[in-house]
């Protein structure tokens, strides 16, 4: 049996899928992954409904989305070697940016609502923008 306490206090990347991790993600963990400002801004962006066309990448465990703020940004979230990485066409100085955080939050909302997430084409244009 799994120890519940350790699951809550640690990021057991290696053990869990991207969906498992995101289902249990807390705001504190999201801030530790990015930073406080990115979490606050990312939450605002997600609440405005600016995260569009969320898709799963066809290769590996990842997400692709458009984040439409002043201009549309392409965001790629990938899990590699048990760690979560983000790339964004805004070319952030500090990674992960607020757009990446907004995509993670949108993904969590999809999971909670059991909304299906379509698979992106292997040549999705967003893959070439990030
Ligand atoms: Zn960005």
Q: Where are the domains of the chain?
A: 35-129
Report the alpha-carbon distance of residue 11 to residue 15 in Å, rounded.
Answer: 9
How far is ligand 1, taken at its centre, from the CA of residue 1, in Å? 39
Are 100 and 93 in contact by the 8 Å Cβ rule? The answer is: no
**pTM for the structure as a whole:** 0.86
> 75: exposed, middle or buried (C-beta count within 10 Å: 0-12, 13-18, 19+)?
buried
Residue by residue, pLDDT tens for the chain (130 residues) are 444 444 444 444 445 689 988 999 999 999 999 999 999 999 999 999 999 999 999 877 899 999 999 999 999 999 887 789 999 999 998 889 999 999 999 999 999 999 999 999 999 999 999 9
Q: Distance, CA 15 to ligand 1 centroid (Å)?
A: 28
CB-proximal residues (5 Å) to ion ligand 1: 88, 90, 92, 97, 99
Cα of 69 to ligand 1 centre, how many Å? 10
The token pair that represents 72 in the structure block: 């549309």
Could you give the CA distance from residue 29 to residue 55 in angstroms, rounded to a whole number? 23
Q: Separation of 87 CA from ligand 1 center, angstroms?
A: 7
Extract the tokens encoding 120: 């992106």
On the question of a cis peptide bond just before residue 91, with omega within 30 degrees of 0, the verdict is no
């Amino acid at each position: 049996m799994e120890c519940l306490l350790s699951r809550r206090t640690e990021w057991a990347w290696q053990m869990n899928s991207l969906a498992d991790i995101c289902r249990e993600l807390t705001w504190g963990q999201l801030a530790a992954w990015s930073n406080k400002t990115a979490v606050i801004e990312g939450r605002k962006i997600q609440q405005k409904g600016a995260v569009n066309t969320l898709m799963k990448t066809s290769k590996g465990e990842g997400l692709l989305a458009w984040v439409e703020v002043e201009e549309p940004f392409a965001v790629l979230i990938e899990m590699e070697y048990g760690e979560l990485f983000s790339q964004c066409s805004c070319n952030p100085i500090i990674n992960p940016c607020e757009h990446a955080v907004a995509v993670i939050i949108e993904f969590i909302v999809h999971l909670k609502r059991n909304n299906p997430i379509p698979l992106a084409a292997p040549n999705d244009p967003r893959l070439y923008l990030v």
